[in-house]
Amino acid sequence: MDEKKENKKRYGSIKNAIKDFVYGMAAHDMVTYSLRTRMHMENLFMLIVMGDMLGIPVLPPYYSLRLLPHVVPM
């Protein structure tokens, strides 16, 4: 009984190691690139919405106020 549990645990850890290795080889670069792109898009969105407060007139105030509810959760 104990042997089966040890084997199962060992194969589970090997499986997780292989899964992490494949993730690192295949998807890690794509994930970091997409997170970086999202960060840049959010920064641009904040600049467009809050630019009037900084003295950068990017959009007319009417459109900035319409976009404001999307910023409030942040």
pLDDT digits (tens, 9 = 90+) for 18-66: 998 998 888 888 999 999 999 999 998 888 878 877 787 776 666 767 7
The CA distances from residue 52 to 14, 17, 44, 49, in Å, are: 55, 50, 13, 8
User: Is there a contact between 71 and 46 (Cβ–Cβ < 8 Å)?
Assistant: yes
Bigger pLDDT: 14 vs 9: 14
Q: CA-CA distance, 29 to 23, in Å (whole number)?
A: 9
Q: Is the pLDDT of residue 1 over 70?
A: no
**Per-residue model confidence (pLDDT) at position 66:** 78
